[in-house]
């Protein structure tokens, strides 16, 4: 058995029938050539024969005092791997409706907290793989890493590997002798534990000082976000989803043009389109929206299970700001948040995460408290693989996100950079955002407007290259002119020297003068001859 981390327990305690706390994603695959009718059967056989590994082979065991542990379990392949089909023509809208229906019920806690659905019947002969993973089991970035490990970048690789497949125990490290210096470091860290508790208290006092305006505000504080339709209460498990794909190179070019980051650019067109949507539904605000953003703290080589994230409140742009100004304002906000996170110790970060999660649940747990919302939207950013991926030779054509909804707000926007695209998914309740498809249309408009607003000479890092190219061309032109002038002048100077003997002969000049009267006389004879011929004509 293994005990759950504190943050994993929070996801279990916040879950109920109207608020499932599992993550969901969907991969759209195009079967290999010649396997349109046999690939689904081969996929189901491989998935159900795969041996689940940690954390997919463990289930919850509740203890006294409301605590829980993970205990080993043998997953039932027929329960965890389901097969269904949607009727023709199998459009994206039909798939979205099917995913919303499958994603509504919470995962059964009597089983390991995951499920997979193999969906066929999509247009163009494609199939979909829909995954449900509880947030207590793994975080978003860990899920992306497991997905990447199951996929291949080789289209000829026909092996089908499930993300829950047993990969073997991690290799054990050889024992390394500990030096006296290392022992002193370990001892000093153990002695520093009480100071870590002191750091948590000082951090909370720091937030209080900022709220009372006694110190400069480093980021958004709780209960300071404007009231929006997104800040509604969950009344059912009904969800609305919408997805889109944006070329990653376009976003990178805008980031380089503005001297910001891809995350800042994405936050800018997300924020701008949110204001447009609020204006269309007659719910505009006069203060910046506040986003709750998880930030990964996972280090290289760390195991994929569990949650390794922190979160913070990020104020976005002013309601009436232009896109360029909005990008600048958001960049300043994210820089302040990152600076504050760097100054926090590890205990303080974990405490701050649970504090924010608790504050977001205040309007739901205490309906009588008329508190202002702390955040308006949950935004997550994850980085995935860049190369084209395959599963058993089937190409991955799209990745659809179905983000999880916190207690409040009832709007989650998650974007994952994968295979040269940003796959952006929107999840909401019908009360918070009834038409997420319309919001996606407004978002794509904001992307184009921001791209036009930025100077083209500053995009894609071409500004210095263009300057060098112009300078090189001008230098080449000047050099060509300098080289061309002597070549043209040389024949002019040399010509008189070669023609000097001709000019030196004085005999030739008078000989040319009698030719003029001769030509006149000749012309007179021609006139006279023409006159004589005129009567004949």
CATH superfamily of 2-150: Chloramphenicol acetyltransferase-like domain (3.30.559.10)
Give the CA angle between residues 458, 459, 463 to the nearest 5°: 40
Rounded distance between C-alpha atoms, residue 508 and residue 502, angstroms: 9
104 and 237 in contact (C-beta within 8 Å)?
yes
Containing H/E element for 448? helix 436-453
Token pair for 305:
């299970």
From 22, 80, 134, 135, active-site residue: 135
| Closest C-alpha to 453, from 317, 246, 254, 250 | 254
372 and 225 in contact (C-beta within 8 Å)?
yes
Buried b (16+ CB within 10 A) or exposed e, 503-519: eeeeeeeeeeeeeeeee
| Closest C-alpha to 330, from 256, 262, 413, 240 | 262
377-383/411-418 β-pairing: parallel
Domain regions of the chain by residue span: 2-150, 220-384+403-412+420-464
135 included as an active-site residue? yes
Token pair for 131:
């995954």
Rounded distance between C-alpha atoms, residue 247 and residue 101, angstroms: 29
Output the pLDDT for position 264: 94
Residue ranges in the chain modelled with pLDDT below 70: 1-2, 65-66, 166-223, 294-311, 341, 344-371, 407, 457-537
| Closest C-alpha to 344, from 293, 291, 295 | 295
Q: Which residues make Cβ contacts (< 8 Å) with residue 335, sequence separation at least 6?
A: none
- Bridge partners for 309 per DSSP: 296
Output the pLDDT for position 289: 96
Rounded distance between C-alpha atoms, residue 263 and residue 246, angstroms: 13
393 and 158 in contact (C-beta within 8 Å)?
yes
Token pair for 213:
């305006």
pTM of the complete model: 0.66
Task: State the CATH architecture for 220-384+403-412+420-464.
Answer: 2-Layer Sandwich (3.30)
Identify the three-state secondary structure at position 193: helix
Containing H/E element for 391? strand 390-391
8 and 307 in contact (C-beta within 8 Å)?
yes
| Closest C-alpha to 57, from 173, 171, 162 | 162
Beta strands in 12-74 (DSSP E): 22-30, 58-62, 68-72
Output the pLDDT for position 20: 87
Output the pLDDT for position 524: 46
Output the pLDDT for position 174: 41
Distances (CA, A) of 30 to 33, 83, 119, 126, 246: 9, 17, 12, 5, 20
First-to-last C-alpha distance (Å) of the chain = 130
Output the pLDDT for position 213: 44
Share of the chain above pLDDT 70, in %: 64
């Amino acid at each position: 058995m293994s005990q759950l981390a504190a943050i994993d327990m929070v996801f279990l305690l916040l879950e109920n029938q109207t608020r499932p706390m599992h993550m969901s994603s969907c991969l759209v695959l195009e079967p290999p050539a010649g396997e349109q009718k046999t690939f689904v059967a081969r996929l189901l056989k491989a998935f159900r024969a795969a041996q689940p590994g940690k954390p997919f082979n463990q289930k919850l065991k509740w203890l006294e005092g409301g605590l829980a542990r993970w205990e080993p379990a043998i997953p039932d392949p027929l329960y965890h791997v389901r097969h269904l089909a949607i009727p023709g023509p199998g459009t994206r809208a039909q798939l979205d409706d099917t995913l919303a229906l499958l994603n509504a019920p919470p995962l059964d806690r009597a089983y390991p907290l995951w499920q997979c659905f193999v969906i066929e019947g999509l247009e163009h002969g494609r199939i979909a793989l829909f995954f449900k993973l509880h947030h207590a089991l793994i975080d978003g970035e860990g899920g992306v890493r497991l997905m990447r490990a199951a996929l291949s970048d080789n289209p000829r690789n026909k092996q089908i590997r499930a993300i829950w497949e047993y990969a073997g125990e991690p290799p054990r490290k050889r024992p390394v002798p500990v030096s006296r210096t290392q022992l002193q470091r370990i001892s000093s860290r153990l002695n520093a534990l009480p100071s870590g508790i002191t750091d948590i208290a000082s951090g909370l006092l720091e937030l209080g000082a900022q709220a009372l305006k006694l110190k400069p505000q480093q980021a958004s504080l709780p209960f300071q976000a404007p009231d929006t339709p997104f800040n509604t209460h969950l009344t059912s498990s009904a969800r609305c989803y919408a997805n889109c794909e944006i070329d990653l190179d376009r976003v990178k070019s805008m980031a380089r043009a503005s001297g910001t980051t891809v995350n800042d650019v994405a936050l800018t067109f997300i924020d701008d389109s949110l204001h447009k949507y609020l204006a269309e539904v007659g719910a505009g605000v006069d203060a910046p929206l506040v986003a709750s953003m998880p930030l990964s703290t996972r280090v290289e080589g760390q195991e994929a299970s569990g949650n390794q994230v922190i979160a913070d409140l990020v104020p976005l742009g002013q309601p009436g700001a232009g896109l360029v100004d909005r990008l600048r304002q958001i960049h300043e906000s994210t820089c302040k948040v990152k600076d504050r996170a760097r100054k926090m110790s590890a205990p303080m970060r974990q405490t701050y995460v649970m504090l924010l999660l608790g504050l977001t649940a205040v309007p739901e747990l205490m309906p009588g408290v008329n508190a202002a919302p702390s955040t308006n939207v949950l935004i997550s950013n994850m980085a995935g693989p860049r190369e084209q991926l395959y599963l058993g030779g089937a190409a991955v054509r799209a990745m659809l996100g179905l983000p999880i909804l916190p207690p409040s707000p009832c709007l989650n926007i998650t974007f994952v950079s994968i295979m040269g695209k940003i796959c952006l998914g929107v999840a909401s309740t019908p009360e918070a955002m009834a038409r997420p498809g319309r919001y996606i249309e407004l978002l794509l408009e904001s992307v184009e407007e921001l791209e036009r607003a930025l100077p083209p000479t500053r995009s894609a890092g071409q500004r210095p290259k263009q300057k060098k190219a112009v300078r090189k061309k001008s230098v080449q032109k000047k050099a060509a002119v300098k080289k061309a002038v002597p070549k043209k002048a040389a024949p002019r100077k040399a010509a008189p020297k070669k023609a000097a003997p001709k000019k030196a002969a004085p005999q030739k000049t008078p000989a040319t003068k009698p030719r003029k009267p001769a030509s006149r006389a000749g012309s007179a004879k021609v006139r006279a001859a023409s006159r004589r011929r005129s009567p004949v004509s």
